[in-house]
Amino acid sequence: MVSGRTIGIAGAGSIGCFVGGMLAAGGARVALLARPRVIAEIEAHGLRPTSFEGLDQTIDVDRFKLSENPAIFSDAGVVLVTVKSADTVDMADIIARHAPPDTVVVSLQNGVGNVTVLRNRLPGRRVLGGMVPFNVIALGNGRFHRATSGDIVIEQDEAGTAEKLSVPGLKMRATGNIDGVQWGKLLLNLNNALNALANLPLRRQLGQRPWRRLFADQVAEGLAAIRAEGITPVSPTPVPLGMMPMLLRIPDVLFEVLLGRTMKIDPEARSSMWEDLQRGRRTEIDYLQGVITGIAERRGLDAPLSRRIVELIRQAEAGGKGSPGLTPDQIRAK
């Protein structure tokens, strides 16, 4: 565990509050930079990380710093960036103004371009890529519920940052190929938008073959685009990415067995993009399917399904009524 200096959480939303809470419970000095609504909720109820595995603990507010003032990063040894991709530039500038020059900055964000943005905005600082494989749901009253399995992965460095950040209940492991890991996670995250459009719990959605076929076609489309860029993605699950489209199409009973062996999902888990639509927030569609359509256009490839999903998510954002609750056939329709 990192000792002495503070671990800053730059953007204490669902992931940030869960990670920050687990670090604080593990004895780290933690500073959460959060919005007033989140601050009021945690001050009233404490910070309560829970999980599908049975974890349930409440951390009193006197065990960490909590503020909307980025001056709380003034003694940070590490800052974990957990904001949405569209907010990366603004958060980088905040870190530049308020964190010491030797602060290690770790991106725990979705997407594949955030590390480059952070390095460009924070020259001379050590910036590491990371990947969070699990989903966290904000359930209110200070409760942030981890609903799927997996360990956080952080770019390997000589200081052993990943190992030092690990605490009981929150393992972080190092990788020498963070680019491949992040591209592999992007492929899995293509289901975020499908889940948001479906208005179904993740496990129920993935338990239905028509939804899995749609996801399989998305993965195949994404793989073609990524490989055209000369990138080899690394699967964040034990299932090789090249086999995933085929395995997603198998009958429901067989898939349920496969899912149980490779990933654990809370029955009520939903994607973060679904939560964004429900709360009327901007989604990260441009940093997921939008990346695939961008590569396809540049490489002269066809990515009709990705384009269609981008269009549907933008319609849902504009409508401001949450998830539209579409069927696979409605998503495929033109």
- Token pair, residue 31, equals 């500073």
User: Domain boundary at 158, 176, 194, which?
Assistant: 176
Same domain, 189 and 142: no
SS3 290: helix
105 within domain boundaries: yes
Tens digit of pLDDT for each residue in 67-123? 999 999 999 999 999 999 999 999 999 999 999 999 999 999 999 999 999 999 999
Which pLDDT value is given to residue 268? 84
Same domain, 77 and 94: yes
User: Domain boundary at 176, 200, 228, which?
Assistant: 176
Same domain, 185 and 89: no
Which pLDDT value is given to residue 3? 55
| Exposure string over 173-210, b if 16+ CB within 10 A, otherwise e | ebbebbbbbbbbbbbbbbbbbbbbbbbbbbbbbbbbbe
202 within domain boundaries: yes
User: Domain boundary at 157, 176, 195, which?
Assistant: 176
Same domain, 211 and 257: yes
Which pLDDT value is given to residue 2? 57
Range of the domain at 258: 179-332
Distance of CA 70 to the CA centre of its chain: 22
74 within domain boundaries: yes
Tens digit of pLDDT for each residue in 26-66? 999 999 999 999 999 999 999 999 999 899 999 999 999 99
CA 239/CA 133 separation, integer angstroms: 14
Same domain, 23 and 165: yes
CA 100/CA 286 separation, integer angstroms: 32
Would you state the torsion angle of the CA atoms of residues 37, 26, 108, 305, taken in this order, to the nearest 10 degrees?
Answer: -80
Which pLDDT value is given to residue 149? 87
What strands lie across the sheet with 6-10, from one edge to the other?
A: 65-67, 30-33, 6-10, 76-81, 104-107, 127-131, 152-155, 172-175
pLDDT reading at 236 higher than 90: no
Query: Is 104 in contact with 172 (CB distance < 8 Å)?
Result: no
Same domain, 159 and 11: yes
Same domain, 319 and 209: yes
pLDDT reading at 261 higher than 90: no
58 within domain boundaries: yes
1 within domain boundaries: no
Tens digit of pLDDT for each residue in 115-154? 999 999 999 999 999 999 999 999 999 999 999 889 999 9
Same domain, 141 and 112: yes
Which CATH number characterizes residue 208's domain?
1.10.1040.10
- Token pair, residue 318, equals 């504009």
CA 3/CA 28 separation, integer angstroms: 7
Biggest CA–CA distance in the chain, Å, is 57
250 within domain boundaries: yes
Same domain, 185 and 211: yes
CA 189/CA 226 separation, integer angstroms: 14
The domain total for the chain is 2
Percent of the chain with pLDDT over 70: 98
Same domain, 166 and 201: no
43 within domain boundaries: yes
Amino acid at position 133, single letter: P
Same domain, 209 and 114: no
Model confidence, pTM: 0.93
Same domain, 200 and 105: no
pLDDT reading at 292 higher than 80: yes
Which CATH number characterizes residue 77's domain?
3.40.50.720
